[in-house]
Amino acid sequence: MSESTGILSGERRIEWAEFDRRIRKAAGGLAALGIGEGDTVAVMMRNDLPFLEACHAAMHRGAYAVPVNWHFRARELAYVLEDCRARVLVIHADLAREVGDALPPGMTVIAVATPPEVRRAYGIAAATAAAAIPAGALEWESWLEAQVPATEPPAPPRESMIYTSGTTGVPKGVRRQRPTPEQAAAIDRMRRRVYGIAPGMRALVPGPLYHSAPNAYGLRASRMGGLVVLMPRFDAEEFLALVERHRISHAFMVPTMFVRLLNLPPEVRRRYDVSSLQFIVHAAAPCPVPVKRAIIEWWGPVLVEFYGGTESGALTVCDSAEWLAHPGTVGRVVEGGTMKVLAEDGSEVPAGEPGELFMRLSYYPDFTYQSLPEERRRIERDGLITLGDVGYFDADGYLYLCDRRRDMIVSGGVNIYPAEIESAILALPGVADCAVFGIPDAEYGEQVMAAIVPAPGARLSPEELRHRLHERIAGYKVPRRIELRESLPREDSGKILKRALREPYWRGTGRSI
């Protein structure tokens, strides 16, 4: 059993005093680079110790940390860097070579040596990682040690600026106002309840820190003392081994992780002691009832589920006992939260009847979408905002999700929006029309599918299309299934009837489309 404290990544460990020293040195270094109140620092890394250090250092300066999905290609990265007006980019060395012409003029790049555990997890050769540091970039460790530590008190913390994919076809940066002290205290109380964040917790972070909830979870857990263990990449058996080795008590997970754990052979699952688990929070995608029930039977009543989003925060919460009494629910509205189920005309619908969900936490600071204020106005109605989900309350006030008003695909807890993928497909030579939508997937919940109509005389193949798309968009957005069609169903207005496209695949699954 491990009694260690601090932050662990692979074989590396940093004690809390050293972690704080490095944050203050990084904050001093950012100040020397001119980073101050309201500025932005982009971080493009897999899970790693400097990821947390860079984010905390940005917040110390009163700046926004902007976690960037490391799967992004140069074009996608360039959009985010320009949109958020980042002046500094902290990036893993092996990713730096993919940047190319994506960097805006005058940007400072700080390359972090890709550590052994990340190289092993992703099959990166050490020579490749070392050779990737671009000319003119600073090197994180040498830069850090040369800095004078910040001596001023940390600025009141800001939320990270998370970029969410959008129906407009471009990511949207959620730029939230700084909370007042009263709001910050209320947010901390909410996250203690929803995430189980508490001093001395022994937390495992298996999800990517560039995502909203794992980012919030990891940043807060790394200020609680105790132990934080980073996984560079989720592996089911390695997860169980880390739980046993470090007596993990807390973790943030998504349903796909549960599926992979349950797919392990029974003798492998029995090999590991998971009795230390106390509080496993999950969200980001619907969890199939049989999957969640099986995890509770294995681990005990330690699962806590919430519903919310980057824009809204956590609006509902449900512990294992509540879920077992109301299978399929995502819980009841938290204190200080308001949620209404509205019909098309804006009227509130009765219990048991589905409608679009509109919500707000009274103590959560307001936000705008960076450079897209009109998109922010579009999701609001009477002071409440929507994430585009459809659901209903039962007579006891428990919320159930049953549909999504928008075309968003949730694959392995990752939000994927078809508009961006459709735009990339339509830009390919030989494509006349296309539609992208989600179909069932036993492991990921949903997978991306594209129905494509070739232009007259064009000869296309799914394999060739996927290859060309990998050059334009992140790999997880590339449709795993592509079908060539003669035509697509459309309304008279020209809108594609995606419901008709999805229906054959979802028929018999028990899920509304």
What is the domain-level CATH number for residue 427?
3.30.300.30
What is residue 397's DSSP assignment? S
Mean pLDDT estimate for the chain: 91
Q: How far apart are CA 196 and CA 317, in angstroms?
A: 11
177: left (phi over 0), alpha (psi -120 to 50) or beta: beta
Instruction: With respect to residue 272, please indicate whether it lies within any of the assigned structural domains.
Output: no
Instruction: With respect to residue 60, please indicate whether it lies within any of the assigned structural domains.
Output: yes
Q: Is the pLDDT of residue 247 over 50?
A: yes
Angle in degrees, 0-180, between the axes of helices 289-299 and 255-262, rounded to the nearest 10: 70
Instruction: With respect to residue 320, please indicate whether it lies within any of the assigned structural domains.
Output: no
Inter-residue contact 201 to 280 (CB < 8 Å) = no
**Domain closes at, from 126, 142, 158:** 158
Stretch 213-227: mean pLDDT, rounded? 94
Of 347, 297, 339, the C-alpha closest to 320 is 297
Cross-strand pairs, 303: 280
CATH number of residue 26's parent domain: 3.40.50.980
Q: Is the pLDDT of residue 287 over 90?
A: no
- State pTM to two decimals: 0.85
pLDDT at residue 499 in the model:
82
Q: Is the pLDDT of residue 1 over 60?
A: no
Inter-residue contact 424 to 266 (CB < 8 Å) = no
Instruction: With respect to residue 443, please indicate whether it lies within any of the assigned structural domains.
Output: yes
Angle in degrees, 0-180, between the axes of helices 462-470 and 418-426, rounded to the nearest 10: 110
Instruction: With respect to residue 99, please indicate whether it lies within any of the assigned structural domains.
Output: yes
Instruction: With respect to residue 171, please indicate whether it lies within any of the assigned structural domains.
Output: no
Instruction: With respect to residue 291, please indicate whether it lies within any of the assigned structural domains.
Output: no
Inter-residue contact 331 to 371 (CB < 8 Å) = no
Tell me the pLDDT tens digit for each residue of 376-411.
999 999 999 999 888 899 999 999 987 667 677 889
pLDDT at residue 196 in the model:
94
Instruction: With respect to residue 502, please indicate whether it lies within any of the assigned structural domains.
Output: yes
Token pair for 35: 């980073």
Token pair for 476: 């997880």
Give me the domain span that covers residue 475.
Answer: 409-506
- The Cα-based distances of 153 to 14, 60, 146, 348 in angstroms read 22, 8, 21, 47
**Domain closes at, from 89, 123, 158:** 158
**Domain closes at, from 104, 131, 158:** 158
Q: Is the pLDDT of residue 230 over 80?
A: yes
**Confidence grade of residue 513 (pLDDT, cut at 50, 70, 90):** low
Tell me the pLDDT tens digit for each residue of 249-268.
999 999 889 988 998 999 99
- Exposure pattern of 364-373 as b/e (b: 16+ CB <10 Å)? bbebbbbebe
Inter-residue contact 304 to 327 (CB < 8 Å) = no
Q: How many domains does the chain have?
A: 2
Tell me the pLDDT tens digit for each residue of 143-194.
999 999 999 999 988 999 999 865 455 789 999 999 999 999 999 899 899 9
